[in-house]
Chain A
Amino acid sequence: MQVPAGATLAVLGRNGAGKSTLLRILATLLRPHAGEVTVLGERLPARAWAVRGRIGLLAHEPLLYRDLSGRENLGYHARLHGVPPARVEQVLDAVGMRERADEPVRQLSRGMVQRLAVGRTVLHCPSVLLLDEPLANLDPAATGLVAPLIGRDSGLTRVITSHDPRAALAEADLVLGLAGGRAAFVSAPDQVDPAAVERLYA
């Protein structure tokens, strides 16, 4: 299967179906045992180095140090990605965290940490977003805040995993159903068989 540039692939499946593993393979963090994976035209894992820095991964873990502040965390990631410090302030504004940016991450609520994680994901202006339950812990206001960064309006190529099929289908241009680590179906969202989706979660 192929995901065209700027399109959104929604990956559905129950716990343990392989959604997060697929994202980690696409993010170059895991090697596939079989099959071929190409991201941004580069075959993985052989040319993983060529796509690192062009991928934004929002995983279950926020990838933030608990004893550092949001600003320090983003500053660290900015240095790793060769991003100018001014971009950190821009991102803190975009996720509405400038006022709490100097508090240690461990003192922040889960929703605030998720907002910082969204900021970390888009800090280096990636071309591809890999989003694992991206709206977890976010209230409606925060969801609206991060929508221009990681939502459809971002215009970026996205791979989204979700436990909520309805929300995922609303976002998707293409849907992949996973069961036991294998593709159960691949189709356009308006052609997805509701019974097949139900079977995924049965």
Chain B
Amino acid sequence: MPETRREERSPGTWRTAGAVLRKDLLLELRGFDTLPAMVLFAIVTFVIFHFGLNQATIEGQEAAGVLTVTLLFAAMLGINRLFVAEREQGGFDAFLLAPVDRSALLIAKAAALFLFLAVLELIAVPAFALLLLGPSLGPPLPGLIAVLALGDVALAVIGTLVSAIAVQTRARDLIGPIIGLPLLLPALIAVARGTGPLLAAHGSGAPPGRWVAILALYDVVFALLSYAVFDFLLED
């Protein structure tokens, strides 16, 4: 990585990322600042859709759209808060003073966001099935998990990048969505198209291969891009 070499005592990228991730999970367990807000937002949104659409149940592409957009907006809450503790409590300085690979921070934050999204979906998807979804969630579940996991990687990587930019500004709650949502639009489309057939009344049990491939490619491209530019975002 540019400007980041390892000293004898440097703990290594993965060990450093593990230390930061462990610290972030501990902070979340102590404060519950992020996850409850994400979960509550998603469930309230499903309730609003339930009454707003004036339909007992939805299915297919309509259901996929509602689920994907709700998860995306819930994710924005987590993205906005991802670096707040580092900014407000000197975590950035402490990290930058250590002889570590700065990319470890990207890896750790993306992993933390991915875990938050996984927990969010563990609660939000069953709630969605209960409140809105017509067809049974059972048969398409493996496919749905695969598509959502790929979508979560996109959200985690781009969300971390956007959050690192936004937290340096005063209007971080505004900057996050303004930069993040356009960047995430292709992933949103791919997740919605990938899950649409799965949530149809007589749909297939497997997601469309084309959208899964697009999503996977999108994940790889943005992961590499984030890895390349993240070091420079931490410069003064």
Contacts and interface: CB of A to CB of B under 8 A. Distances in A.
Nearest to B85: A65
B9 A52 contact: no
Contacts, number: 91
B7 A65 contact: no
B26 A72 contact: yes
Nearest to A61: B90
Contacts of B18: 79
Given A49-B4, A104-B30, A82 B97 contact: no
A83 B9 CA distance: 8
A98 interface: no
B97 A49 contact: no
B130 interface: no
Interface stretch (A6-14, A27-35, A141-149, A186-194): A27-35
Q: Which of A53, A55, A61, A104 has the most CB of B within 10 A?
A: A53
A67 B96 contact: no
Contact of B30 (A64, A67, A81): A67
A65 B94 CA distance: 10
Contacts of A57: 93, 97
Contacts of B19: 76, 79-80
Given A31-B236, A64-B90, A66-B89, A49 B98 contact: no
Given A62-B90, A65-B89, A76 B23 contact: yes
A138 B229 CA distance: 42
Contact of A79 (B4, B5, B11, B90): B11
Contacts of B31: 67
Contacts of A62: 90
A82 B9 contact: yes
B33 to A, nearest CB: 9
Interface in A35-67: 45, 48-50, 52-53, 55, 57, 59, 61-67
Given A53-B10, A67-B31, A81 B99 contact: yes
A65 B91 contact: yes
A49 B5 contact: yes
A120 to B, nearest CB: 8
A100 interface: no
Contact of B97 (A29, A45, A61, A79): A29
Contacts of B85: 65
Nearest to A56: B97
Contacts of A52: 7, 96-99
Contact of A49 (B3, B11, B15, B235): B3
Interface in B89-123: 89-91, 93-100
Contacts of A152: none
Interface of B: 3-5, 7, 9-11, 15-16, 18-19, 22-23, 26-27, 30-31, 85, 89-91, 93-100, 235-236
Interface of A: 27-31, 45, 48-50, 52-53, 55, 57, 59, 61-68, 72, 76-77, 79-83, 104, 120, 124
Given A63-B89, A76-B23, A82-B11, 10 more contacts: A27-B97, A29-B97, A31-B236, A45-B3, A49-B4, A49-B7, A50-B5, A53-B98, A64-B90, A66-B89
Report, nearest first, the 6 A-B pairs whose CB atoms are least far apart.
A53-B99, A79-B19, A63-B90, A80-B98, A82-B9, A67-B30
5 contacts: A52-B7, A53-B97, A57-B97, A61-B93, A79-B15
